[in-house]
Amino acid sequence: MPVDFETFLTERRYLKGISERTVEYYRDCFRQFGNNPTPNEDYLKQFVIRMRERGMKETSCNDYIRGINAYLKWAGFSLKIQKVKEPKHVLPTYCEQDLQRLIQWKPNDWHGRRLHLLVLCLIDSGARINELLTLRWRQVDLDNMLVTFDGKGAKQRILPFSIELRRHLYRWKQEGAHDLVFCTKTGVALTHRNTMHSVVGLCHKLKLNVPERSLHAFRHTFALNYLRRGGSVFHLQRVLGHATLEMTRRYVNLTTEDLQQEHERVSVLSGRVR
């Protein structure tokens, strides 16, 4: 690896405030990149070719490219790797019927109530799963129905939640005295993997269609329904904690049904132009 890579990481950690998870992301990028202190344009091209030859998907390649480009800019190189063109896919979401079945589910034990509350939080807030798994009660203002999330890059945002979610949060708080909102009975934090398995298991139990990236699909679903109900894309950017509006737009893939309904509303032939 380049000899000044550790300096790059130190500055990112202490000057940019990146998380340890992001530090590991950069390390992974350089494991892929290899040890070349003076990369040239041909080496950068071969770096991308090697990833593609190993069968790496376009999105994964671009994740590594972003990390290497950040280093190249920091190190003063006039080089930049072009991103791989990604196919345009409609992001996975839960349908309205499946959401209602999740909301109306009546668990009969402690673990079920914890899982149900987690799902309700995902549906109501649009939060990242890691933001919920690290959420502490001191960040939840039940009186004013506000929650403070610690997002990516140590960026905090304060968001409202619904009266209905407050009711569930209040009941859950009475069941335990641990600092974390979502944890084991002994106060240990839940893992991403076990949480994913629990959510997928619940979906199978309720005979729902499980979308790809089952946990993150709640975030996509929140974004889509936010706009369907008249929310502003600018407000949505704040809610999701995105640095740019372009990132927010990637979350908003209106379905064919949405387009059909809007077309019927504006079509001259339909006679419903307002």
Question: Could you give all domains of the chain from N- to C-terminal order, each with its CATH number?
Answer: 5-74 (no CATH), 96-215 (1.10.443.10)
For the chain, what percent of residues have pLDDT higher than 90?
Answer: 47
Read off the pLDDT of residues 38-50 as tens digits, 9 standing for 90 and up: 889 999 999 999 9
Task: Output the DSSP codes for 181-201.
Answer: SSB-TTSPBPPHHHHHHHHHH
Q: Using alpha carbons, list the distances in angstroms from residue 92 to 54, 59, 127, 246, 253.
A: 26, 15, 16, 18, 9
Task: Locate 99 and state its tokens.
Answer: 């959401």
Nearest Cα to 205, choosing from 67, 90, 98, 56?
98
- Of residues 36 and 199, the one with the higher pLDDT is 199
Read off the pLDDT of residues 64-113 as tens digits, 9 standing for 90 and up: 999 999 999 999 999 899 998 877 666 788 888 999 999 999 999 999 99
Q: What's the confidence (pLDDT) of residue 267?
A: 52
Read off the pLDDT of residues 14-33 as tens digits, 9 standing for 90 and up: 888 888 888 899 999 999 89
Asked if residues 146 and 159 have their Cβ atoms less than 8 Å apart, the reply is: yes
Q: What's the confidence (pLDDT) of residue 92?
A: 80
Q: For residue 148, what is the enclosing H or E element? A: strand 146-150
Q: What's the whole-number average pLDDT of the chain?
A: 84
Read off the pLDDT of residues 194-218 as tens digits, 9 standing for 90 and up: 999 999 999 999 999 888 788 888 9
In the block, tokens 């799902």 appear at 119
Q: Is pLDDT of 1 > 50?
A: no
The mean per-residue pLDDT over the stretch 139-164 comes to 85
Asked if residues 154 and 142 have their Cβ atoms less than 8 Å apart, the reply is: no
Asked if residues 152 and 162 have their Cβ atoms less than 8 Å apart, the reply is: no
Q: What's the confidence (pLDDT) of residue 229?
A: 79
The mean per-residue pLDDT over the stretch 249-260 comes to 58
